[in-house]
Amino acid sequence: MTDINQKKLAKDVAKEIERRRRMRRLIVLVALLGLAIVAALYVRCGKGWGTGGKGPGEGGTTTATAPTDGATRCTIRLAATGITVGGKPATRDEAIAACKAKTGADVLITGDARQGDWDELRGALEAASIPFFAREPRGVAPSDAAVPAD
């Protein structure tokens, strides 16, 4: 073999070794990426993969029933446009009367509601001894309104 052939052979061998090393590295990286995706899916989706299977229930026949003994809470929404109880417009006194028959009130205070309106409604709920939980939508700074009353 001549010197030129030996150099060419050495270059070819080096290229093949480098190509194999790149392929090994690529396979390892793809495998690690696949494991990371599977781990993320497991954390996000839990144990179920959506394949179905027999569960503990009868499947599709469950129905939620509301208590019939009046043990529900009334829902009050306070906005700049006024007060709504269960999605229907109402005055403050009508809201108090509607919530007296319930076990309590859940009050949603929108971002555009006046503080004075909330103060009056809170005072009326406290005077009527109606337990309530008030919350403000996300992005609104928390105040004493978000603390449940005793």
Upper half-sphere CA count for residue 57 (Cβ side, 13 Å):
6
- The confidence band for 134, taking pLDDT boundaries of 50, 70 and 90, is confident
CB count within 10 Å of CB 10 equals 10
- The confidence band for 32, taking pLDDT boundaries of 50, 70 and 90, is very high
* Cut 0.75: pTM above it: no
Q: What pLDDT shows up at residue 23?
A: 96
Q: What pLDDT shows up at residue 62?
A: 47
* CA dist list (Å): 110 to 81, 116, 126, 134, 148: 10, 13, 20, 11, 17
- Residue 102 region, left (φ>0) first, then alpha (ψ -120 to 50), else beta? beta
Q: Span 27-38, mean pLDDT?
A: 95
> 105 and 73 in contact (C-beta within 8 Å)?
yes
Q: What pLDDT shows up at residue 51?
A: 59
pLDDT, mean over the chain: 80
